[in-house]
Homo-oligomer: A and B are copies of this chain.
Amino acid sequence: MTQETPVFLKEYLDLHAADLADRLQRLDIEEARELLRQLPPEKAAAALAEVDRERLAGLLEGFDAHQLSGLLSSLPPEDAADLLQEVSAGTRREVLAELSPESAEGLRALMQYPEDTVGGVMSNRFIALRTDMTVEEALQVLRAQAREEYPEDIAYLYVTDANRRLVGIVSLRDLVFRRPDRRISEIMNADVKFVRAETDREELARLFEHYHYPGLPVVDAEGRLVGVVKASDVLEVVTREATEDMQLMVGLSGEERALSPWFYSVKRRLPWLYINLATAFLAAFVVGLFEDTIARWTALAIFLPVIAGQGGNAGMQTLTVIIRDLALGELAPQDGRRALFKELLVALLNGLAVGIVVGLIGWWWKGSPALGLVAGVAMVLNQLAAAVAGVWIPLGLRAVGLDPALASSILLTTVTDVAGFFFFLGLAWLGLHWSGL
Contacts and interface: CB of A to CB of B under 8 A. Distances in A.
Nearest to A289: B302
B305 A284 contact: yes
A219 interface: no
Contacts of A357: 274, 277
A302 B309 CA distance: 16
A238 interface: yes
B16 A313 contact: no
A349 B373 CA distance: 43
Contacts of A323: 246
A350 B273 contact: yes
A294 interface: yes
A338 interface: yes
A125 interface: no
Interface string A304-333: 111011101110110111111100101100
B173 A154 contact: yes
A363 to B, nearest CB: 14
A21 to B, nearest CB: 9
B325 A306 contact: no
A305 B306 contact: no
Interface of A: 16, 18-19, 22, 139, 142-143, 146, 152-156, 171-174, 176-177, 208-214, 230-236, 238-239, 242-243, 245-247, 249-252, 256-260, 262, 265-266, 269-270, 272-274, 276-277, 279-281, 283-284, 287-288, 291, 294-295, 298-306, 308-310, 312-314, 316-317, 319-325, 328, 330-331, 335, 338-339, 342, 345-346, 349-350, 353-354, 357-358, 361, 365, 409-410, 413, 417, 421
